[in-house]
């Protein structure tokens, strides 16, 4: 046998071994997925990102080590959606990693995993990564991620339906997180830059929902402190006057007072009580049928639209309304690159 023949034979054997090794890895991944699908529990915490076992499910009773901490919260919304939140960190003074499993009224599960300002969105049943996005001062930006080659490519219409479900889940999560706002951390919904169109890349429709600190909020929506200060002052004035009948009347008077203060400034970049047609995004009269009213709208940056929805008492921004707001501002301002939703609660 010639040397050339031997060389070709060795190359063929090496290629076969490489292919077999790849298949073996694939088989192990399939087996692992089967085990996870049998043992998956939405309330079982994962090890924090940054550790050698970061992202893996923690065994029962371990707590992830003597210094690891975990918190679990469960919320059910009026439409039947459920949000199960798990927060975990390796050390008492480190940042929390978060995992939120949103189950829609139809049973569709979407998982939002946040580590720092990076958020991975997964299909809650298949564990498939749907998107991975980074929150920057310019809004949500898509990041590349590895998609297993063996996965069946989804047709455009199926991707569009899954995108709609993901958007609904994001709205529900934003609703729940807004109810957990604190003085130094507020939930935001960085909505996609446009509605999903079949044929577009799914991951290009970047979205991000979670709580951010005041520094990040100032970068995204520079006038948020001003809006909060107006809301606080108006609410304090209404409360001091005593001229209201119950919680609903108090909220109505606060809404009207905030709108009066803002619109008296005649600042085109900060307006209140604006209404847009839900279908076309064109201006609409207050209370017109088929219109959506926005409490406060900020356009400090030409490429950014920030929408503030202020609530009093135990009221909260419902998930479907969050999606409606995001959709109508996309239609009203199609040239913008990012849309940020924030719930404001007057401090009284």
Digit-by-digit pLDDT tens for the chain (348 residues) are 555 556 666 666 655 655 555 455 445 445 444 544 444 444 555 555 545 445 554 544 444 445 667 889 999 998 889 999 998 877 777 777 899 999 999 999 999 999 889 999 999 998 888 888 999 887 888 876 655 544 555 666 777 888 889 999 999 999 999 988 888 899 999 998 776 665 555 555 789 999 999 999 999 999 999 999 999 999 999 999 999 888 889 999 999 999 999 999 999 999 999 999 999 999 999 889 999 999 999 997 778 899 999 888 766 678 888 889 999 998 999 888 889 999 998 887
Q: Supply the pLDDT for residue 46.
A: 53
Q: DSSP assignment, residue 224?
A: H
- Quote the CA–CA distance of 197 and 193 in Å, as a whole number: 12
Half-sphere exposure of 42 (CA within 13 A, CB side): 18
Q: Rounded distance, CA 135 to CA 130, Å?
A: 16
Statement: the pTM of the whole predicted model exceeds 0.95: no
What lies within 8 Å, CB to CB, of 73 at 6+ separation is: 84, 85, 180
Nearest to 340 by CA among 217, 201, 250, 202: 217
The pLDDT, as a whole number, for residue 281 is 92
pLDDT tens digits, residue range 226-236? 999 999 999 99
């Amino acid at each position: 046998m010639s040397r050339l023949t031997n060389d070709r034979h060795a190359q063929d054997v090496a290629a076969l071994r490489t292919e077999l090794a790849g298949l073996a890895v694939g088989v192990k991944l399939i087996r692992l997925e089967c085990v996870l699908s049998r043992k998956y529990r939405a309330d079982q915490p994962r090890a924090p990102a940054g550790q050698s076992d970061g992202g893996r499910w923690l065994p029962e009773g371990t707590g992830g080590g003597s210094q690891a901490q975990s918190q679990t919260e469960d919320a059910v919304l009026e439409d039947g959606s459920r949000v199960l939140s798990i927060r975990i960190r390796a050390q008492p003074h480190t940042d929390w990693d978060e995992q939120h499993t949103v189950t829609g009224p139809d049973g569709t599960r979407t998982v939002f995993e946040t580590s720092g300002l990076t958020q991975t969105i997964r299909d809650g049943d298949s564990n498939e990564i749907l998107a991975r996005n980074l929150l920057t001062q310019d809004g949500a930006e898509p990041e590349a991620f590895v998609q297993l080659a063996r996965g069946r490519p989804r047709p455009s219409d199926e991707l569009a339906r899954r995108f709609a479900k993901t958007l609904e889940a994001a709205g529900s999560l934003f609703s729940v997180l807004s109810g957990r706002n604190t003085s130094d951390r507020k939930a935001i919904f960085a909505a996609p830059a446009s509605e999903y169109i079949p044929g577009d890349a799914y991951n290009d429709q970047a979205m991000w929902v979670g709580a951010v600190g005041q520094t990040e909020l100032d970068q995204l929506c520079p006038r948020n402190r001003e809006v909060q200060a107006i809301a606080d002052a108006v609410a304090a004035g209404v409360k001091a006057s005593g001229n209201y009948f119950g919680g609903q009347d108090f909220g109505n008077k606060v809404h009207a007072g905030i709108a009066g203060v803002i619109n008296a400034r005649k600042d085109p970049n900060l307006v209140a009580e604006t209404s847009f047609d839900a279908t076309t995004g064109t201006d609409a009269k207050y209370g017109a049928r088929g219109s959506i009213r926005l409490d406060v709208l900020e356009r400090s940056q030409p490429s950014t639209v920030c929408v503030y929805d202020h609530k009093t008492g135990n009221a909260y921004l419902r998930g479907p309304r969050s999606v409606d707001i995001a959709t109508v501002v996309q239609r009203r301002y199609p040239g913008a690159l990012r849309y940020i939703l924030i719930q404001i609660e007057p401090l009284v």
